[in-house]
Amino acid sequence: MYTAYHGLRENPFNLTPDYRYFFFSSRHREALNHLLYGIHERKGFIVLTGGIGTGKTTICRALLASLEDSVDTALVFNSFLSDMELLGAILHELGAKLEMPGGKKAHIDRLNKFLLDNFSAGRNTVLVIDEAQNLSYSALEQIRMLSNLETEREKLIQIVLIGQPELEDILASPSLKQLNDRITVRFALNALSRDECREYISHRLNAAGGGSIRFSGMAHRVIYRASRGNPRHINAICDRALLVAYVKNRSLVDGKTVRNALVDLRGVPARRRSSLRRLLLVLIPVFLSTAAGLILFYRNELTEVFLNLKTYLT
């Protein structure tokens, strides 16, 4: 709606992951490098964790775009799977379906043959599971068993588990100790810093064509405080702020514009917010005048108490 008015080609703060708009903060770049290192060095198990909206899925897409042609990947987004369903999904993603229906052993044998053939051809195989904190314990145990598929010197499959911070708590449970001990590469994503938040907004605006819209210093400060550096929250706030600026025919997003956007996002009616402000403006002078009156009323009593105390001490 507002893109043409602001001179933008498209919405710069769309909530769906888009690699074109991905902003590589120092932590995101470090996370990607950890994943690439674990895969290229055939480390076996790799874990990436981060809160909702910190960019895990986008890093996953960046990872897939960065891998060489000699790497075959199986990407599993639906993690609410049983161990058998997980095996079936992996074979499907790798294009190695069973020729005849079979049980778990048949699935594992087929996967093992595929991995051995790939390894013989000089290829690597990567399994990426997003939202891995939703995997059942039986599915996680099955994943551990997959790591046994190896030669004398090399892991045949590299397994990347991507999930929210509670994934680490799940992996630390005693029943998954053997799996946890095999994880050799770990990385936890943090939120953006204040400066990175400003760079993130500028980066996305430039990726969408730049346009005529500008954010004031106060707007950046309000956005950072409200979002706490979470990219998804930054997107939601900026998207609504651009809409507010469009409605008010402005090309500058200032602190007031962002605060109005936050009111819209949080579902607090502006009328109610104004009423609360007016009520506070009335109550504060009343409180101050009452306090002053009480001090004057009890002044003589307090003076007498202090004089008596002074007499007593001397």
> pLDDT per residue over 109-118, tens digit each?
999 999 999 9
Cβ pair 253, 242 in contact under 8 A: yes
Cβ pair 211, 6 in contact under 8 A: yes
The pLDDT value recorded for residue 270 is 45
User: Tokens standing for 26?
Assistant: 């120092």
Q: At what angle do helices 270-297 and 299-313 cross, to 10 degrees?
A: 50
Going by C-alpha positions, the residue among 159, 187, 163, 229 that lies closest to residue 27 is 187
Among all chains, which residue has been given the structure tokens 């108490």?
305
Distance of CA 261 to the CA centre of its chain: 21
Phi, psi of 196 (to 5 degrees): -65, -30
Which residues, 6+ apart, have CB-to-CB distance to 233 below 8 Å? 53, 226, 227
User: Tokens standing for 285?
Assistant: 């002078």
Low-confidence ranges of the chain (pLDDT < 50): 270-271
Cβ pair 98, 106 in contact under 8 A: yes
pLDDT digits (tens, 9 = 90+) for 212-235: 899 999 999 999 999 999 999 999
pLDDT digits (tens, 9 = 90+) for 153-199: 788 999 999 999 999 999 999 999 999 999 999 999 999 999 999 99
* CA 42 – CA 155 distance, rounded (Å): 6
